[in-house]
A and B are shown apart, each in its own frame.
Chain A
Amino acid sequence: MSVGVPAVVRAERTKLWTLAGARWLLAGAVAAQVAVGAAVAASVEEARAPDPVRSSLAGVWVAQVAVVVLGVLAVSSEYETPQIRVTLAAVPRRVAVLAAKAATVAALVAGAAALGTAGSLVAGRLVLSGNGIGLPLAAGSTARAAAGTVCYLALVALLALGIGTLVRDAAVAIVVTLSVLFLFPLLGLVVSDPAWQHRLHRYAPMDAGLAVQATRRLGDLPVGPWAGVGILAAYAAACLLTGGAVFQARDA
């Protein structure tokens, strides 16, 4: 007996949606994105205004923590119970299982991220107009930053899913994913050699992936906006493929 693709995706969606805490994590990601973005936008002063769009979208730094947890739990939760055996008995094609998980996680996170990003921009516009700074919602660069932010969060979820598949243990996977995201940019702060700094900002997944949020001084970015998203996508793809290969090869 073979199970059709729509059924596999439906099964994954049901599992993820009924996962304890999944809805809380998604709601938390949206709330954090909007609230932190508004707080950062409120701190922008006119005299030395940094990028207003990027400031309004800064909530993504906190939101991605929730997204990482969700991405990891999507696969690791199956290993906490014998659920994974049931899943694989029903759908023996493991690649299909992982692909369905990836599609579901990416779609759910992208939906939440779209909500959070739209909310952040509206909140940022309200807060910034109080300080006399405009935020052009209709501008092409704003649209690019918004679309890029949604892509960023979806890719972070896939990165987490890949690492989660690889290591299976929620705690380890969360620590590894968050470290990969956050600690390399921090290393860039302490390293004072300009060549190394540039390399770190260019190839660290978070710095590269968030370059897409910039709407000003694009020439100063270590990497082009969409090229940066491409670098993050390459990390996510590498983790998913490695995770998939290991998933295929090992015992459940």
Chain B
Amino acid sequence: MNFVPLLRSELTKLLSVRRWLVALAAMALLTIGFGLLSSAGSSTDANEQASYMVGPSGRAVNDQLYLVHGPVAGDATVTARVVRQRASHPDAQAGLMVRERMASGSRYVSIALTPGHGVRFDSNFGEHVRHAGGDAPQWLRLRRHGPEFRGEASADGRTWREVGHADLPGAGRDLQFGLFVNSPQRLEITRTAGGTGVTGFPTLGRATFAGVRLAPAGAGAVREWRGQDIPPVLPGPSKDPRLAGKDVEAVPPAKRGVSGSSAGAVAATGGSFTLTGSGDIGPAEGPDDSVQASLFGTMFGLMALASVAVLFATSEYKRHLVRTTFAATPRRRPVLAAKAAVLAGTTFALGLVTSVAAYFASRPTIRSSGFTLPAYAPTSIGQPAVLRAIVGNAVLLVAFALLGLGLGVILRRSSAAIALVFALAVVPLFAGAAIPPVSKWLMWLTPAGGFAIERAKPPSAELAEPWSQINPWLGLGIACAYAAVALGGAAWLLERRDA
């Protein structure tokens, strides 16, 4: 039998129940409305605590390091071997840097060794981050050719591999070349019921460089380089904009020593330099996600959608329509497939329109809540991460709709199926927020983790929302897997039992 008439008949069933249409409209309105509400409530005062630096793109950045440097005119290459590096923090850096100015927030290109993530190439606070494997001892090389910079690494100083390259358009003739060391704060995150507390402990990076060379010969003398902290005084932990608005506890005075103005130091012995330094380089934007705030209403809209999805299956049993349906189409699985296709298509279309509308509707509220430059970069629908969140949100709704349909067929009772969808989709969120030790596991094991796809920023353990801890694709995958299992179970049962 042809599949198209089946699709048409299922679509007719879905669209001919007025209450379901009302519920679908309610889904859209709840999603947009609660998105607006959560955007209005998610205020941030990060911009009022403007104690941070502003980078070249106008965004808030961290620019903290100890640099031993000197001016170099024109094209040049600096080479050094990182002999050893203290494992003060997985992202501590020890390497080479070229920067335009010594002031904080200046443009730069750097290549550095890290204790936890190999060799890291970067420019202008996260513009061109590239990673390559490697650990100490490691040769590093940074070459300038006009506005173009190449970072290379080598295990033996003979065979070099490029880690990354970047341009500083319009860079002047004189740039500062140097060696640098830093080490970010160790963040201690305590999850409590309904909130998180973030405490930052400064760490002190330490690394020894040997074989520091500057080429060509006329470029300058390394022994004339001078050490300097950037910025001259490191901000204390409570001024870190990443922690703005959070429950920040005071750093114990005993541990505060390294954040003082004399954090960095250099000692030169027989051609090798040992640098100590503290701080972090990179974007300083907080983990709060304004895209997530816009889409938060999905959780409310979901409830209306889930009831339609469940009833789409169970109402057939309630009114014995299912006997007519199966009399007309004795092969039952195609009926289920048609139901699933119609429900998925409708949900995806409506979900996508709703997500886009929720995103745009909440933009003005988001801006007036304080999510503006420099503390928060504006988002736009063209950014891949924002598109992923919006389209992913529509896919998440499809997954929950199909989960509801599958459970409806399996259980045949709307009350039980709806309660089960709710128990799977929402209860873990609440339990995860309230019981910190299990929150990550709950997100990995239940479809509630799918809400991770609503975030446009990388996963973060600093937020109270349990789903913000896990990878967005993983979360969406788990939700889809639940839907697939429910539909598979429904298809299996449908053939085996009486209608």
- Chain A interfacial positions (CB closer than 8 Å to B): 21, 36, 39-40, 43-45, 48, 50, 55, 58, 61-62, 65-66, 68-69, 72-73, 76, 80, 170-172, 174-175, 178-179, 182-183, 185-193, 196, 201, 206
Interface size (B, Cβ < 8 Å)?
A: 47
- CB of B435 within 8 A of CB of A43, answer yes
A190 to B419, CA, bound (A): 24
Can you spell out 9 A-B residue pairs with CB atoms less than 8 angstroms apart? A40-B431, A58-B434, A174-B418, A174-B422, A175-B418, A182-B429, A185-B194, A187-B296, A193-B43
A residues near B422, Cβ cutoff 8 Å: 65, 174-175, 178, 182
Min distance, Cβ B316 to any Cβ of chain A, angstroms: 14
A residues near B464, Cβ cutoff 8 Å: 189
A171 to B317, CA, bound (A): 14
- Provide the main secondary structure of the chain A interface: helix
- CB of B437 within 8 A of CB of A171, answer no
- CB of B426 within 8 A of CB of A171, answer no
Interface membership of chain B positions 148-166, coded 1 if the CB is closer than 8 angstroms to chain A and 0 otherwise: 0000000000000000000
Q: Is B93 an interface residue (CB 8 A)?
A: no
Selected interface stretch from B303-311, B332-340, B477-485: B303-311
- Provide the main secondary structure of the chain B interface: helix
- CB of B426 within 8 A of CB of A182, answer yes
B residues near A189, Cβ cutoff 8 Å: 194, 433, 464-465
Q: Is B138 an interface residue (CB 8 A)?
A: no
Residue of A nearest to B435 (CB): A40
Q: Is B430 an interface residue (CB 8 A)?
A: yes
Min distance, Cβ B41 to any Cβ of chain A, angstroms: 3
| Cβ-neighbour of A175 out of B303, B318, B431 (below 8 A) | B303
Known contacts A55-B435, A171-B311, A171-B418; is-contact A50 B190 (Cβ 8 Å) = no
The 3 closest A-B pairs by CB, nearest first: A191-B41, A43-B437, A171-B414
Min distance, Cβ A54 to any Cβ of chain B, angstroms: 8
| Cβ-neighbour of B41 out of A68, A73, A190 (below 8 A) | A190
- CB of A186 within 8 A of CB of B430, answer yes
A185 to B438, CA, bound (A): 18
- CB of A179 within 8 A of CB of B41, answer no
- CB of A179 within 8 A of CB of B415, answer no
A55 to B438, CA, bound (A): 11
Q: Is B348 an interface residue (CB 8 A)?
A: no
Name 10 extra pairs, CB < 8 A, besides A80-B318, A174-B419, A192-B42.
Answer: A43-B437, A65-B422, A76-B415, A175-B307, A178-B303, A187-B37, A187-B41, A192-B41, A192-B245, A193-B42
- CB of B300 within 8 A of CB of A183, answer yes
- CB of B194 within 8 A of CB of A188, answer yes
Min distance, Cβ B25 to any Cβ of chain A, angstroms: 15
Known contacts A61-B434, A190-B293, A190-B296; is-contact A196 B41 (Cβ 8 Å) = yes
- CB of B41 within 8 A of CB of A182, answer no
